[in-house]
Structure 1
Amino acid sequence: MPESNSQTRPAEAATSSGESRNLPVPIARPMQPEGDGFFARLMRALFAWRDGPTRADIEVVLQAAGPGEGGVSPEERTMIRNILALRGRRIDDVMVPRGDIVAVQQDIAIGELVRVFEKAGHSRLPVYNDTLDDPAGMVHIRDLIAFMAAQASLSPEKNLKRKKPRPAGLDLGAINLAMQLSATNITRPILFVPPSMPAIDLLAKMQATRIHLALVVDEYGGTDGLVSMEDIVEQIVGEIADEHDVDEKPSIVRQPDGSYVADARASLEDATRLIGAEFDAGDAAREVDTVGGYMMSQVGRLPLRGELVPGPKGFEIEVLDADPRRIKRVRIHRNKGRAIERDREGRRRYSTPDAASPAIAPAAAEPAPGDAAKSDSTKSESAKSPASATDANAARRP
Structure 2
Amino acid sequence: MGSSYEGSTGAAQPSSERAEQDEGESPEPGQRGFFGRILSAFVPSDPASETQPGRPDAPALPQLPGLANLRKLRVDDVAIPKVEIVAVPLDIGKDDLVEVFRKQGFSRLPVYKGTLDHPQGLILLKDLALQHGFGAGGRFSLKRLLRPILYAPPSMPLHVLLQKMQKDRVHMALVIDEYGGVDGLVTIEDLIETVIGEIEDEHDEEEGTLWRQEKPGVWVMQSTAPLDEVEAEIGVRLRTGEDDEEIDTLGGLVFLRIGRVPARGEVIAHESGVEFEIVDADPRRIKRLRVTLPDHRPTAPPTAPATEG
Give TM-score, length-normalised by structure 1.
0.41
Q: Which residue of 2 aligns with 1:122?
A: 106
Contact 1:106 1:180 survives alignment (8 Å): no
When the two chains are superposed, the root-mean-square deviation of aligned CA atoms in Å is 4.5
Contact 1:108 1:180 survives alignment (8 Å): no
Q: Identify the match of residue 259 of structure 1 among 238, 247, 268.
A: 238
Q: Which residue of 2 aligns with 1:250?
A: 222
| Equivalences for residues 90-239 of structure 1 within 5 A | 90-148=74-132, 172=135, 174-176=137-139, 179-182=140-143, 185-239=144-198
Please give the per-residue CA displacement for 1:351-379, whole angstroms capped at 9, x wherever unaligned: xxxxxxxxxxxxxxxxxxxxxxxxxxxxx
Q: Which has the larger radius of gyration?
A: 1
**SS of equivalent to 1:87:** helix
Deviation, 1:174, is 3.3
Contact 1:319 1:330 survives alignment (8 Å): no
**SS of equivalent to 1:112:** helix
Contact 2:73 2:157 survives alignment (8 Å): yes
Deviation, 1:293, is 6.9
CA distance in 1, matches of 2:181, 2:150: 14
Seen in structure 2, the aligned counterparts of structure 1 residues 137 and 320 have a Cα distance that, compared at 3 Å, is same
Seen in structure 2, the aligned counterparts of structure 1 residues 291 and 139 have a Cα distance that, compared at 3 Å, is farther
Q: Which residue of 2 aligns with 1:294?
A: 259
Q: Which residue of 1 aligns with 2:73?
A: 89
Give TM-score, length-normalised by structure 2.
0.52
- Name whichever of 230-239 and 95-104 sits farther off: 95-104
Seen in structure 2, the aligned counterparts of structure 1 residues 54 and 187 have a Cα distance that, compared at 3 Å, is closer
Structure with the larger helix share: 1
Q: Which residue of 1 aligns with 2:297?
A: none
Seen in structure 2, the aligned counterparts of structure 1 residues 293 and 175 have a Cα distance that, compared at 3 Å, is farther
Please give the per-residue CA displacement for 1:156-203, whole angstroms capped at 9, x wherever unaligned: xxxxxxxxxxxxxx7x27355xx3523xx0111111111121112111
Gaps of 5+ in 2: 1-40, 54-61, 208-220, 240-244, 262-266, 279-285, 291-309
Contact 1:125 1:140 survives alignment (8 Å): yes
Contact 1:128 1:135 survives alignment (8 Å): yes
Deviation, 1:104, is 0.9
Please give the per-residue CA displacement for 1:264-293, whole angstroms capped at 9, x wherever unaligned: xxxxxxx977349xx89xxxxxxxxx6577
Deviation, 1:109, is 1.2
Q: Which residue of 1 aligns with 2:215?
A: none
The amino acid that maps onto 1:136 is Q
Seen in structure 2, the aligned counterparts of structure 1 residues 86 and 188 have a Cα distance that, compared at 3 Å, is same
Percent identical pairs in the alignment equals 39
